[in-house]
Chains A and B, each alone.
Chain A
Amino acid sequence: MTIKTTKNAVSRRKALLGLGVGAGALATSGLMPGAMGFAQAQSSAPIKIGFQKHATGIGAAYGRWYDATTTAAIQRINDSGGINGRPVEIVTEDDGTDPSRGAEALEKFEKLHSCDVAFGTLFSHVVIGSAPRAAELKLPYFVVSEGHHVASGMLNRYTLQPGITDVKSQVVSMAPFIANNLGKKVTMIFPDFAFGHDHRDFFTQAIEAQGGEVVAKIAIPPTETSFTRYFPSIPRETEVIYHVMVGPAVLTFVKEMGEFFGPSRPELFGFIDSLEAVGIDSPGLEFLESTYFWEGMPRHVQDNQSEAEKTYRAAVGCDDRGASLDDPADVSTYAHMFGCWETLNVIKAGMEAADYQGPQDRTKLIEAVEAMSDMPESLDHPQGAKRFNGKTHQVFGQQFISKVTEGKMVVEHVATIEDGLYEDEVDYTTQSF
């Protein structure tokens, strides 16, 4: 192969011109006028919340719905006068569902956009990769990620999870139901990264406490696209399969599981993560009839729907089956995205309690959130009542177990806040800012 070295580089003048245009565009976008008509506060500049979004990468389906929920929540907050009389503005950065890009996004929030706080993101590896940077930047970082990493003490005082429960709490409150109703010999199938390992470790302990045992643990790489080859490792004695998968291949996973077992399947207990953004009525999923799912918030409207749930569902643009109002085939990530709505309301409450004026008050904001405890069910908390633990920076709430009944997920059991409590593993309030 001959290598041609054609020196046709861009001239310096052109390069400078290009840079100039780029810088100009950035400057203009930073000067967008804020919304008008807010009460006169000490500063009427908007409060900026940096939203770390899975816009691309394997978390993109979650990112889109986290975005829709965030937009709806901010609109509601702004319609009712903003925070401390100031409008709220969301600054979105794509994290590519990638830890290093997640940390870069936080850096941009602080240095480029001068955000007041950072918020967002689901995938645990992105949160774990970003949180140290948040502490270095002294930027409060509110995550909606489910992982146990916040409450385990692995992260820092700047990282809080006030809007969604963590895996350990979910698993602890599910184990008694599984052991008493489905079976005691469990095979676990989970993704091979931090979130899946949380499930593996805590469920193993929790089911043993109920007199059951985990007979096999099958870890699957998060980017896998074909699953049949993993299923032969399921031991014959298995009574219950506990599955929790994430990523774009979840439907293939559930479908191939059905094809593998055919008519003689064991009991199935899945985390709805295995089917978030996927219709339960998708072709090939018929075998899920009368299996069980954990749901963070019921996707399908239940008979005892609360007024708050109804209003929230309409605000985020979802129909009775948790799909987009515009397109019934466009199913949301309903069991997780309420966390964005509730977290933003916690940020608002925290800023109001701390009389937040600007970045100099960030530590006051964190202390104000740490001081929170019981949050009653309301339109601020449509998923249900919550209890925040200021020491571990983790919120606790109710959990739902639904049974697929004639193509609808019907809530069969509700685990209370108390069912999901466990001993503190860290006290972040003793750490200095």
Chain B
Amino acid sequence: MDFGPHLMLATLEGTVIASILVLTAMGLSIVFGVMRVVNVAHGEFFMLGAVLAWYVSKMLGGHPAIGFAAALVIAPLVVGLIAAVSDQLILKRINYDPDRTIVGTIGILFIIQQTTLMTFGPEARPVEAPFNQRLALPWFEFSEGGLQMIWPWGLSITSYKLFVIFAALTVLLALWLFLTRTKIGLIMRATQQDSETAKAFGVPVGTVYSCVFGLGAALAALGAVLVVPIQQAHYLMGADPLLMAFTVVIIGGLGSLPGTVIAAFLIGMSDGIISVFFSPTLAQIIATFLVAMILVFRPQGLMGKAET
């Protein structure tokens, strides 16, 4: 394939990866920002979202769009609820102690993963996309006859992948409005800035924590429902998104939402483009190297505020 169309294909693939990544990383970032909890089980909430999407679409049957639309609502709700309950049952009992929450969430990770293996099984199971047309894309080329439009071999995207990009943007916008324009958002931001003072002003910090933990997990689950018609639901699928989300959150700045968005697109695009032209391994090496450099020279991340 020529360089131009090849680059365009890589950019499109990178944008799809980045769109899913931004939702997953956003969940991780909100949880850390408000609760100061490093949630190692985040990837498993992602996986749970995909698995539930499969169950929902299988149970409803009919046109794939029905099951998919239902999954889009039900899966994040259920996953959010599971997360909120595990916050009440586990994280609250250990007083959100930073070290013990890491061990606690590792425990949650194993419980969710192995329960899925025992019930859902080891297979990768597909969920049908609500719509999936292949759209061939044109490319413009200067030749003797002036500007010409050509249709290069393999340069295409599917309508569903475009939908994923738009859906992710919509969710991001909604999330931003929720955090900045609603009262619940205000309470969450107050808890984030100073939980003790918030408590003194009558904010039920414990409930806010459970809601935030649920919201973080629900965002991961939503990302998974969007991705499951492209990939398949599988009990080990949580590992990669967790690693990528951590990379994004460290580069963007833990707890910083704009930083997370910027970093997600940076990592998603570099993963898409570098792995097309060089190798996927190199893309991972560069991302890891970037994390190391950020930790050395700007530990608070691109947009994070330095701790005083």
- A interface residues with partner B (beta carbon < 8 Å): 1, 3-4, 55-58, 60-61, 63-64, 221, 223-226, 228-229, 231-234, 236, 248-252, 259-262, 264, 277-278, 282-284, 330
- CB atoms of B117 and A60 under 8 A apart: yes
**Residues B8-44 near A (CB distance < 8 A):** 9-10, 13, 17
Tell yes or no: B240 within 8 A of A by CB.
Answer: yes
CB distance A232 to B13 under 8 Å?
no
B9–A264 CB distance below 8 A: no
Q: Is the CB of B99 within 8 A of A249?
A: no
Tell me if A251 and B117 are in contact (CB < 8 A). no
Q: Interface-forming stretch among B167-175, B187-195, B273-281, B297-305?
A: B273-281
In the complex, the answer to whether B1 meets A225 with C-beta atoms within 8 Å is: no
Q: How far is the CA of A226 from the CA of B154 in the complex (A)?
A: 16
The minimal Cβ–Cβ distance linking A282 to chain B, given in whole angstroms, is: 6
Are B123 and A61 within 8 A (Cβ)? yes
- Are A228 and B13 interface neighbours, CB within 8 A? yes
B232 within 8 A of A: yes
| Min C-beta distance of A252 to chain B, whole Å | 5
A57 to B114, CA, bound (A): 11
Q: A229-B10, A259-B156 are in contact. Are A249 and B128 (CB under 8 A)?
A: no
CB-based contact A284/B132 at 8 Å: yes
Does B156 contact A225, Cβ atoms closer than 8 Å?
A: no
Verify B124–A259 contact, CB threshold 8 A. Answer: no
Chain B residues at the A interface, C-beta cutoff of 8 Å = 1, 6, 9-10, 13, 17, 64, 97-99, 117, 121-124, 126, 128-129, 132, 134, 136, 153-154, 156, 158, 230-232, 234-237, 240, 272, 275-276, 280-281
A226 contacts B156, C-beta separation under 8 Å = no
| A262 nearest CB neighbor, chain B only | B134
B230 contact from A55, A61, A252, Cβ within 8 A: A252
Assembly CA distance A278 to B123 (angstroms)? 9
Contacts of B6 in A (CB 8 A): 232
Once bound together, how far apart are the Cα atoms of A16 and B121, in whole Å?
35
- A224 cross-chain contacts in B, Cβ below 8 A: 280
Assuming the contacts A225-B240, A226-B13, asked whether A277 and B153 have C-beta atoms less than 8 A apart, the reply is no
Interface of A is mostly: loop
Given contacts A56-B117, A60-B122, A229-B10, 10 further A-B contacts (CB under 8 A): A58-B236, A221-B281, A226-B231, A229-B275, A232-B1, A232-B276, A248-B236, A251-B126, A261-B154, A284-B132
In whole angstroms, what is the CA distance A424 to B230 when docked? 45
**Shortest beta-carbon distance from B156 to chain A in Å:** 6
Neighbouring A residues of B276 by C-beta, 8 Å: 229, 232
Contact B232 A64 (CB under 8 A): no
Q: How far is the CA of A226 from the CA of B12 in the complex (A)?
A: 13
- Residue from the list A61, A248, A252, A259 in contact with B134, Cβ < 8 A: A259
**Could you tell me the distance in whole angstroms from the C-beta of A219 to the nearest C-beta in chain B?**
9
Assembly CA distance A58 to B136 (angstroms): 33
Report the bound CA distance from A330 to B120 in whole Å.
11
Q: Which residues of B contact A233 (CB under 8 A)?
A: 1
Task: Evaluate whether A259 and B158 lie within 8 angstroms (CB atoms) in the complex, with A225-B237, A249-B124, A249-B232 already known.
Answer: yes
User: Are B234 and A248 touching (Cβ within 8 A)?
Assistant: yes
Tell me the bound Cα distance from A262 to B134 in angstroms: 7
**Is B154 in contact with A232, judged by CB distance below 8 angstroms?**
yes
Q: Given A56-B122, A229-B276, A1 and B156 touching (CB < 8 A)? A: no
